[in-house]
Amino acid sequence: MNEVYDPVRKTFFGRITNENEKYGETPLSAVFITRIMWTFAASYRIFPNVKYKKMADEAFRILLENFWDNENGGIYWSVLPNGKKLDTKKQFYAQAFFIYALSEYYLAFQSEKAKQIAVSMFLLIEKYAWDIEFGGYVEACTVNWSEIKDQRLSLRDLNVKKSMNTHLHLLEAYTNFYRVYKNQLVKKQLKNLVHIFLERIIDRKTGHLNLYFDTDWKVHSGIVSYGHDIEYTWLLNKAVEVLGEKELIGAVESIVMKSAEIIAKEGVAKHGGLYYEKKGEKLMEQFHWWPQAEAVVGFFSAWQISKNKNYLQLSLNGWEFIQQNIIDKKNAEWFLGVDKNLEPLHIDKINEWKAPYHNSRMCLEMICRISSLVD
């Protein structure tokens, strides 16, 4: 509210450095704005502050005025701060985050408009992304929902038809959407996403997630992403809880606990931080902000399932690591990450991916989980 939103231009800064230098001309991504919208709506539900509603409203306004495609539906990938279209592709990762934010906005403010847009977004995703033959969802389409050659979510991703990351956040989005729209097709597709993780994405031998796939689910990567590994454990568990599918809960808990055990052995450094990823045998000794946030929730969830206090300690250790190394005590917010020497990475604190979503979601999720134990 104080640093990223610009009341003069009535929009957000798309780039802020570790030294708090602000760049007003930087493009805005759909991921960035939808994550802001979700964060302030979710925060309002626990702390009903009118200033939080103002920020959620502003993000919603920007999405409708600048990102929404009035001709074809859906939201563009990026725009300039003045609202001019920049990248008009329809990346389903971004569409998922819009549903996620719209559902949270409805839960916070009972906005029928947000709910109806979420319904239309769901129908668009099911029409253009769902693979009828092999199951699962493709990565992207052109502005008018035609096939697109470059399916990549980012330059560091592989150009494949399907990815773990898009499916993970569709799972998260549909879980939230099903809370506000108890529709049988939504339930069916959320359940399909659960099974896709159980049968396609989770490597039962290693406990890790496979990241990239062909249309027919042929695996294309041997990278281990520790942040996604721990993130999926609690998101998948939450999905089956919201579904109320008792026969799935036991199966999911067994699988996610295997993953939690492996992550605890392989992915956690002695100081409590969670490594970023591993390529083959080469460990990337960096500690980015979002895997640290996911580790706090994921290991706490593992403790709630198993009652094994080692997981509770891992969660506490992760939170201590964040407080000591990731939170910027001088300029506020969280650094994007630290290197193996625990020095802040020279990467912008605010960018197209770095929004208040992962860290705020961790705090809000932990508040709810701890409160439920106390109650």
Query: What integer pLDDT is reported at residue 245 of this predicted model?
Result: 84
Residue 184 to residue 182: CA distance in whole angstroms: 7
What order do you get walking across the sheet with 282-284 strand by strand? 223-225, 277-279, 282-284
- With beta carbons less than 8 A apart as the criterion, state whether 361 and 289 touch: no
**Is CATH 1.50.10.10 what the domain over 5-374 is classified as, yes or no?**
yes
- Domain positions in the chain are 5-374
Please determine, for residue 21, whether its predicted confidence score (pLDDT) is greater than 90: yes
Please determine, for residue 164, whether its predicted confidence score (pLDDT) is greater than 90: yes
pLDDT in tens, 292-330: 999 999 999 999 999 999 999 999 999 999 999 999 999
Q: Which two tokens stand for residue 308?
A: 């094994």
Nearest Cα neighbor of 99 from 82, 79, 123, 130 is: 123
Please determine, for residue 74, whether its predicted confidence score (pLDDT) is greater than 80: yes
Q: What mean pLDDT comes out for the span 16-31?
A: 97
Burial of 209 (0-12, 13-18, 19+ CB in 10 A): buried
The amino acid occupying position 87 is: D
